[in-house]
Structure 1
């Protein structure tokens, strides 16, 4: 069981929180609660600051500690908060929100080409990519148009939890070949785009997403390249903002 409450999972739009320092060293800082997303599933770890009375630490990255808590990595030379200190953790919100828009777009990319499986992904604030097991991909212009149609539909995005047994009974929910949903906790988080009764996309995911697809804004597929006999890599950018 983790020592730290994962506030990013409760509300991805919370940009800061008050917390108590549980552990502090050059190896990283652990808080009893954090809005920072630890690097996982192709989504980068959050950056930002941790401030306390008399000091502030720049957070260069966030990763998972051995027990799964968010481990905030200090920037080189940064001051460290003392254990037990009351702090305010603040995200670089613009960067995080871009990751949320990008991550949701990659889910829509799966929806735009049903029946194929992702073999890898990397989310970035400026550019993201998704690799597919796809022998004959459509033209990048077609993919761009289809993605923007789905975005313009302004579909709501929600989540629900299912048991690992339910996932085993519905293996088609898993759309990735390279990354499997984390197991061991007994429950799997499903992210749904669209209405519950007829979702545009539904798949296991632990990352952060926007509330509605319209929030993403226009996107563009800037490049498609071959990475093997059937593996194709699709590069996407946010065309607005």
Structure 2
């Protein structure tokens, strides 16, 4: 909410390539905001928590498919990762079962700040082929899913895998000779059945 009482929705955020500052993309760009104006932020917790759950699940997918990641995307309803796989498509049900097994273990998820030189010593910690973690500040933010996944990441995560809830691999498809896409969704069917 602005000083004038207007309410605007921030629909997205982006990092400005030139300045490095975070840009807030508004649904209503005509709103009268000026640099230095005071605003009150109200977080959409339900949406944020869904992002945290899905993002953490994508870390589990990196553990289930321990190959290089060529791309990815996520919303509060679904997520996808593209993997460099040479030998055909993985089985949807096997992936679903493996993910739900890791979720059910209720593994702790922690954040660690480590010297960025760890990537010189262990470059395999970076799972993504096209995106490298930022360097130059001396420290890297690392996400650890207990004995399952460990990689640099600046995103939001749950504190235990059990918070993710049931998921389902909705689609596995080829996106090129070696590029295979795996899409995950929250398994609403399982949730509805358990609520009855």
Taking structure 2 as the reference length, the TM-score comes to 0.87
Aligned equivalents of 1:167, 1:161: Cα separation in 2: 13
Quick check: which one's helix share is greater? 2
Give the aligned partner of residue 57 of structure 2. 105
Give the aligned partner of residue 85 of structure 1. 37
Matches for 1:143-222 after TM superposition, within 5 Å: 143-194=95-146, 199-222=147-170
Q: Deviations over 1:46-96 (max 9, x none)?
A: xxxx44353322222211234333221222354233444332112222222
Aligned equivalents of 1:130, 1:73: Cα separation in 2: 25
After superposing on structure 2, the runs of 4+ consecutive aligned residues of structure 1 that deviate more than 6 Å are none
Quick check: which one's strand share is greater? 1
Taking structure 1 as the reference length, the TM-score comes to 0.72
Gapped runs of 5+ residues in structure 1?
A: 1-49
**2:9 maps to 1:58:** yes
Q: Per the alignment, do residues 76 and 54 of structure 1 end up closer, same or farther by CA in structure 2, a change over 3 Å counting?
A: closer
Aligned equivalents of 1:156, 1:210: Cα separation in 2: 9
Q: Deviations over 1:177-217 (max 9, x none)?
A: 121111222221110011xxxx2110011111111111110
Give the aligned partner of residue 185 of structure 2. 237
Partner of 1:80, secondary structure, is coil
CA RMSD of aligned residues (A): 1.8
Q: Per the alignment, do residues 121 and 177 of structure 1 end up closer, same or farther by CA in structure 2, a change over 3 Å counting?
A: same
Aligned residues, how many?
187
| 1:149 Cα deviation after fit | 0.2
